[in-house]
Structure 1
Amino acid sequence: MHNIVNLIVNKSRDSDPGLEASMYRAKAQHPLSDARSPLPEEVNEAMWRLFVAIGTFWETVADPTPFRSRLQSFMANRIALMPLYADYYAIAKRVIDDLVVECGSEAAAYERLFTSKDAAKSPPTTPLALTRQSVSNEFLTLQMALGVLICTES
C-alpha cells in the first residue's frame, strides 16, 4: 500500500513540478479584486459597529473585541472572492446611517434592520434588504461559526 501511495504522489509531482510548492500557497481570488481600492476606514468602522450590534441585539457575544481581526479577515476574503462585497459594505454603511436618522438612535436603527419584514424579502430588491441578507445575516453566521454564542438563561 505504501508503494502505491508513493507512486501516486510522485506521479502527481512529476506531472506538475510546482504542485507541492504551490498547493499550500494558493489563494482564491476574483480577477477584479486586485483593481479594488481598500475599504474606507469609515466603512470598516461601520461594519465593526454592526458586528458588535448583532452580538448585543441577539445576545450572541459577551465581548466581541477578540473577533475584530477575524471580521476584518472575513470581509477581505469576501471582497477577494467577489469584489461586489466592497459595494455591499459601503451600501450597508449608508443604510445604517439613514436608519439612524429615521429612527433617532443607533439602537433603534439596528433593531429595524434586524427585525423589519421588508428586509427579509428575497431576493433583496432594496438597500435595506441587501444589507440585512448580504451583510448582517452573514456577520451573524460568522459569529456562530466562530463559536462565540453565549447561553443566556430565560
Structure 2
Amino acid sequence: MYQKTAKHPLSTKLEPLSDKTFAAMWQIFVHIGKFWQNIDDPTPYKSQLYSFMLNRINLRPIYSDYYISAQEVMTQLITEKGEDEAYKYLFTDKDAAKAPPETFIAVTRQNVANEFIALQLSLGGFKAFGAENYCGYIGGANIPSQPAPYRTFVE
C-alpha cells in the first residue's frame, strides 16, 4: 500500500544535514548509552538515528537549526569542560531542564538529547533497567503459574 510521506513545505528548501553535524549528534547518542549504561554497542542504531533526525527535519524544519546549534553547544562545552564532563553536564544540569528553554544548552537538552534518550530507550535501551515490556516489546508469553512478562499491579 502506498503511504504518502509527510513533509513540511519549508523542509525542501533546507540544506542537507552535514556529515559534521550528524557526527556531533551521533556522539550525543553514544554518550547517552555510556552515561546511563543502557546500550553496550550503539553502532547498529546509527542508521536509525539518521532516519529519525531526517524525519524530524522533514516534519519540523526548525530541527535542522536545533541540530546545528547542538553541534556548536557541544563543541563549546567540550572545550570548556572536557568530553566526559561536557556530556554529563548536558544530561544533568537542572537549568537545562527548565521549560521553556531560555539558553542554547537548554534547547540542546530538551529538543535533541531528551529525544535521543527516548529513541534509545525505544530501540531496546530499556532492557538495561530490567524492564520486560516497553513500546511493543514483551518479555514472553503470559502462562499461568509463571511470572507475568509485564509489571503487574502487585509489583
% identical aligned pairs: 51
**Conserved? CA contact 1:95–1:131, under 8 Å:** yes
- Select the structure that is richer in helix: 1
Q: Secondary structure at the match of 1:151?
A: helix
Matched, 1:53 2:34: no
**Large movers: runs of 4+ above 3 Å:** none
Tell me which of 36, 42, 65 is aligned to 1:64: 42
State the TM-score, normalizing by the size of structure 2: 0.80
Maintained 8 Å contact 1:53/1:110: yes
Whole-Å separation in 1 of the counterparts to 2:120 and 2:3: 27
For structure 2, which runs of at least 5 residues remain unmatched after alignment?
A: 131-155
- Residue in 1 that maps onto 2:22: 44
- 3-state SS of 1:47 partner: helix
Distance in 2 (alpha carbons) for counterparts of 1:151 and 1:78: 27
What are the superposed Cα offsets for residues 48-91 of structure 1, whole Å, 9 maximum, x if unpaired? Answer: 01100001001111110000000000000000000100000000
- The equivalent residue for 1:90 is 68
Unaligned runs of 5+ in 1: 1-22
- Greater C-alpha Rg: 1
Write the letter of the residue equivalent to 2:120: Q
Correspondence for 1:113: 90
State the aligned residue count: 130
